[in-house]
Amino acid sequence: MSLRYVYGIAPAPAAPEVERAAIIGIDGSEVRAITERDLAAITSDLAESEWGDAILNEHVRDLDWLTPRAAAHQEVNARALEIAGALIPLSFGVLYRDDERVRAMLGEGHDTHARKLADLRGKGEWVVTVTRDGAAVPGMTGDLAALDREIASSEPGRAYLLEKRRTSVAEAAAERADEDAARQAFDALAAVSERLYREPVARGGPDVVALRLSLLAPRNTATVERAIAGVTEDLGRSGYRVRASGPWPAYRFGSLP
């Protein structure tokens, strides 16, 4: 017995072309479309013995199992977006019992899905991260070097107090520099984006993340790439690294109101 795995939702007129493209989905499955009115669910049939609730909950904790299937999920949605021009990508692991339940999902959420597709037409999502070496203190090299010299030439008691001062000065300077770098990158990318979402970031580790954001913009222009290149060059002078990927299907903006 098979289940219907749903990758995303596209406009129904794209369904025949999606099927003609012979896209290969998860576990080598054939990708097809299930339509309801003017919407199409991009789907594959997967064995219930491998994808039923109980076994899927076990599988998703196994990175060796999950990684290639998550990559296949992403590849199907990327190809579907190229064909359809608009796509609401769903999260990994959305399954339905049969075609009728998929059609019911499309029908029940029709108006919301249709509005999202209209909003996302011709657009993609980029993910941009600004980081620096956690041991570096941007903009403080000279001041810290002076403190280091003073510490080296001081008696132990004074040196201890200066070390504490150095730590405090470095932390405050790094925090200010990170805020400035984040603001500079955010403002530059906001100018070329229709929408932005600043992602929460974790602290700790060898690299400090000053900013991680997702942005929505038209796919078929070089405007975003030029803005990212400018941010990379400008912040690189202060020791920051900028990593960017995209345009992807709009996973973030396909779900956010």
Helix (H) / strand (E) containing 60 = none
Q: Which amino acid is at 232?
A: T
What does the alpha-carbon distance between residue 187 and residue 55 come to, in Å, rounded to a whole number? Answer: 45
Bridge partners (DSSP) of residue 214 are 127, 197
What does the alpha-carbon distance between residue 15 and residue 217 come to, in Å, rounded to a whole number? Answer: 24
Confidence of residue 193 (pLDDT cuts 50, 70, 90): very high
Q: Which amino acid is at 117?
A: L
Compute the mean pLDDT over every residue in the chain, rounded to the nearest whole number.
Answer: 88
The predicted-structure confidence for 204-251, as pLDDT tens digits, reads as follows 667 889 999 999 999 988 999 999 999 999 999 888 999 999 899 999
Per-position b or e across 52-81, b if 16+ CB within 10 A of its CB: eeeeeeeeeeeeeeeeebeebbbebbbbbb
The predicted-structure confidence for 121-150, as pLDDT tens digits, reads as follows 999 999 999 998 876 666 555 566 666 666
What does the alpha-carbon distance between residue 67 and residue 61 come to, in Å, rounded to a whole number? Answer: 10
What does the alpha-carbon distance between residue 123 and residue 70 come to, in Å, rounded to a whole number? Answer: 22
Low-confidence winner among 68-82, 97-111, 126-140, 240-254 (lowest mean pLDDT):
126-140
The predicted-structure confidence for 23-41, as pLDDT tens digits, reads as follows 999 999 999 999 999 999 9
On the CB side of 72, CA atoms within 13 Å amount to 19
